[in-house]
Structure 1
Amino acid sequence: MPSPNHVPRPGPAASRDRFEQPTLDGMLADPLQLDLRHTTFVVLDLETTGGAPDGAGITEIGAVKVRGGEELGSFGTLINPGVPIPPFITVLTGITTTMTMEAPPIEAVLPSLLEFLSGAVLVAHNAPYDTGFLKAACAAHGYRWPNPRIVDTVQLARRVLLRDEVPNNKLGTLAAYFRVADQPSHRAMADARATVGVLHALIARLGGHRVHTLGDTIEFVKAVAPVQRAKKHLAEGLPHAPGVYLFRAADGRPLYVGTSTDIATRVRSYFTAAERRARIKEMLGAAVRVDAVECAHGLEAQVRELRLIAAHAPPYNRRSKHPERVQWLKLTAEPYPRLSVVRQLAADGGAYLGPFAGRSAAQAAVDAIHEALPLRQCTPRLSARKATAACALAELGKCPAPCTLAISTEDYDERAAAPLRAAFGGDPDAVVDPLLARIHRLSDAQRYEDAAAVRDRLTAFLRAAIRMQRLASLTSIEELIAARRTEQNAWEIAIVRHGRLAAAATAAPGVHPRRTLELIRPTAETVLAAPGPTPCATPEETERILDWLERPETRLVEATSGWASPARGPARWRRLLGTPQQRQPG
Structure 2
Amino acid sequence: MSRTGVAAPGRDVPARSRWEEQRSFDELGRPLRDLTFCVVDLETTGGSAAAGSMITEIGAVKVRGGEVLGEFQTLVDPQTEIPAFIAVLTGITNHMVADAPPIESALPAFLEFAAGCVLVAHNAPFDIGFLRHFAELQGRPWPRVEVLDTARLARRVITRDDAPNCKLSSLARVFHSTTTPNHRALSDARATVDVLHGLLERLGPLGVHTLEELQTFTSRVTPAQRRKRHLAEGLPHAPGVYLFRDERERVLYVGTSRDLRTRVRSYFTSSETRSRMGEMVGLADSVLGIECATPLEAEVRELRLIAEHKPRYNRRSRFPEKAHFVKLTRETWPRLSLVRRVLDDDADYLGPFSSRKTAEKCLAALHDTFPVRQCSERLSRTGGRSPCVLAEMGRCLSPCDGSADAATYAAVVRQLRDTLLHRPDEVVEAINARMASLAADERFEEAGVHRDRLAAFVRAAARTQRLTALTRCPEVVAARREDAGWAVHVVRHGRLVAAGVIPPGADAHQFVRELRAGAETVRPAPGPVPVATAEETEKILRWLESPGVRLIEVDGEWSCPVAGATRHLAVHDAVTESRLSLVPFDDRRDLTPVHQPAR
TM-score norm. by structure 2 comes to 0.69
Deviating more after overlay: 354-363 vs 530-539: 354-363
Which amino acid letter does the alignment assign opposite residue 250 of structure 1?
A: E
d(CA) in 2 for partners of 1:578, 1:190: 52
2:499 is equivalent to residue 479 of structure 1 = no
Which amino acid letter does the alignment assign opposite residue 34 of structure 1?
A: R
d(CA) in 2 for partners of 1:464, 1:45: 54
Alignment counterpart, residue 546 of structure 1, candidates 538, 541, 544:
541
8 Å contact 1:328–1:342 — kept in the other structure? Answer: yes
Residue 229 of structure 1: how far off its partner (Å)? 2.1
Alignment counterpart, residue 498 of structure 1, candidates 472, 493, 498:
493
Counterpart in the other structure of 2:13: none
2:369 is equivalent to residue 372 of structure 1 = yes
Counterpart in the other structure of 2:592: none
d(CA) in 2 for partners of 1:431, 1:193: 68
Counterpart in the other structure of 2:552: 557
d(CA) in 2 for partners of 1:45, 1:429: 60
Counterpart in the other structure of 2:266: 269
Counterpart in the other structure of 1:577: 572
d(CA) in 2 for partners of 1:321, 1:332: 29
Counterpart in the other structure of 1:516: 511
d(CA) in 1 for partners of 2:40, 2:465: 64
The 5-angstrom pairing of residues 159-170 of structure 1 reads none
Residue 443 of structure 1: how far off its partner (Å)? 4.9
8 Å contact 1:184–1:194 — kept in the other structure? Answer: yes
Counterpart in the other structure of 2:291: 294
Counterpart in the other structure of 1:35: 31
Counterpart in the other structure of 2:240: 243
d(CA) in 1 for partners of 2:153, 2:572: 51
Alpha-carbon distance change, 148 to 395 in structure 1, aligned in 2, over 3 angstroms: closer
Which amino acid letter does the alignment assign opposite residue 458 of structure 1?
A: L
Which amino acid letter does the alignment assign opposite residue 532 of structure 1?
A: G
Residue 528 of structure 1: how far off its partner (Å)? 0.5
Aligned residues: 510
Residue 123 of structure 1: how far off its partner (Å)? 7.9
8 Å contact 2:27–2:233 — kept in the other structure? Answer: no
Alpha-carbon distance change, 211 to 459 in structure 1, aligned in 2, over 3 angstroms: closer
Alpha-carbon distance change, 518 to 185 in structure 1, aligned in 2, over 3 angstroms: closer
The gaps in structure 2 that reach 5 residues or longer are: 1-24, 43-52, 76-95, 163-169, 576-599
Alignment counterpart, residue 532 of structure 1, candidates 521, 527, 530:
527
TM-score norm. by structure 1 comes to 0.70
8 Å contact 1:473–1:563 — kept in the other structure? Answer: yes
Which amino acid letter does the alignment assign opposite residue 243 of structure 1?
A: G
Which amino acid letter does the alignment assign opposite residue 423 of structure 2?
A: D
Residue 517 of structure 1: how far off its partner (Å)? 1.0
Alignment counterpart, residue 428 of structure 1, candidates 424, 428, 431:
424
Alpha-carbon distance change, 288 to 404 in structure 1, aligned in 2, over 3 angstroms: same
Alpha-carbon distance change, 476 to 431 in structure 1, aligned in 2, over 3 angstroms: same
Residue 513 of structure 1: how far off its partner (Å)? 2.6
Alpha-carbon distance change, 346 to 170 in structure 1, aligned in 2, over 3 angstroms: closer
Secondary structure of the 2:417 match is helix
d(CA) in 2 for partners of 1:445, 1:77: 70
For residues 386-444 of structure 1, what are the alpha-carbon distances to aligned partners after superposition, in whole Å with 9 as ceiling and x for unaligned?
62333233344442222223334x32542332222222222334434443444454455
Alpha-carbon distance change, 457 to 128 in structure 1, aligned in 2, over 3 angstroms: closer
Alpha-carbon distance change, 400 to 219 in structure 1, aligned in 2, over 3 angstroms: closer
8 Å contact 1:223–1:273 — kept in the other structure? Answer: no
Residue 75 of structure 1: how far off its partner (Å)? 4.7
Counterpart in the other structure of 2:456: 460
The 5-angstrom pairing of residues 11-410 of structure 1 reads 33-41=29-37, 67=64, 73-75=69-71, 115-121=112-118, 149=147, 209-220=206-217, 222-226=218-222, 228-320=225-317, 323=320, 326-385=323-382, 387-408=384-405, 410=406
d(CA) in 1 for partners of 2:281, 2:339: 38
d(CA) in 1 for partners of 2:158, 2:568: 62
Residue 497 of structure 1: how far off its partner (Å)? 0.6
8 Å contact 1:247–1:287 — kept in the other structure? Answer: yes
Alpha-carbon distance change, 175 to 331 in structure 1, aligned in 2, over 3 angstroms: closer
Alpha-carbon distance change, 336 to 295 in structure 1, aligned in 2, over 3 angstroms: same
Secondary structure of the 1:355 match is strand
8 Å contact 2:383–2:399 — kept in the other structure? Answer: no
Secondary structure of the 1:334 match is coil
d(CA) in 2 for partners of 1:559, 1:45: 58
Residue 251 of structure 1: how far off its partner (Å)? 1.7
For residues 102-145 of structure 1, what are the alpha-carbon distances to aligned partners after superposition, in whole Å with 9 as ceiling and x for unaligned?
xx989999987765444335789xx679x989x89x99xx9999
Secondary structure of the 2:316 match is helix
d(CA) in 1 for partners of 2:561, 2:40: 68
**Bigger Rg, structure 1 or 2:** 1
The gaps in structure 1 that reach 5 residues or longer are: 1-28, 47-53, 80-100, 177-182, 581-586
d(CA) in 2 for partners of 1:385, 1:446: 44
d(CA) in 1 for partners of 2:507, 2:230: 40
8 Å contact 1:248–1:255 — kept in the other structure? Answer: yes
d(CA) in 2 for partners of 1:471, 1:515: 30
Residue 323 of structure 1: how far off its partner (Å)? 4.7
d(CA) in 1 for partners of 2:429, 2:539: 32
d(CA) in 1 for partners of 2:222, 2:441: 63
Counterpart in the other structure of 1:94: none
Secondary structure of the 2:238 match is coil
Deviating more after overlay: 369-378 vs 196-205: 196-205
d(CA) in 1 for partners of 2:431, 2:200: 71
d(CA) in 2 for partners of 1:194, 1:271: 31
d(CA) in 2 for partners of 1:44, 1:465: 55
Alpha-carbon distance change, 217 to 298 in structure 1, aligned in 2, over 3 angstroms: closer
Secondary structure of the 1:319 match is coil
8 Å contact 1:498–1:536 — kept in the other structure? Answer: yes
Alpha-carbon distance change, 35 to 568 in structure 1, aligned in 2, over 3 angstroms: closer
8 Å contact 2:236–2:261 — kept in the other structure? Answer: yes
d(CA) in 1 for partners of 2:233, 2:171: 36
Identical pairs, percent: 45
Secondary structure of the 1:245 match is strand
Deviating more after overlay: 349-358 vs 445-454: 445-454
d(CA) in 1 for partners of 2:498, 2:435: 48
Counterpart in the other structure of 2:581: none
Secondary structure of the 2:268 match is coil
Secondary structure of the 1:511 match is coil
Residue 472 of structure 1: how far off its partner (Å)? 0.5
Alpha-carbon distance change, 417 to 128 in structure 1, aligned in 2, over 3 angstroms: closer
Alpha-carbon distance change, 262 to 392 in structure 1, aligned in 2, over 3 angstroms: same
Counterpart in the other structure of 1:566: 561
Alpha-carbon distance change, 394 to 38 in structure 1, aligned in 2, over 3 angstroms: closer
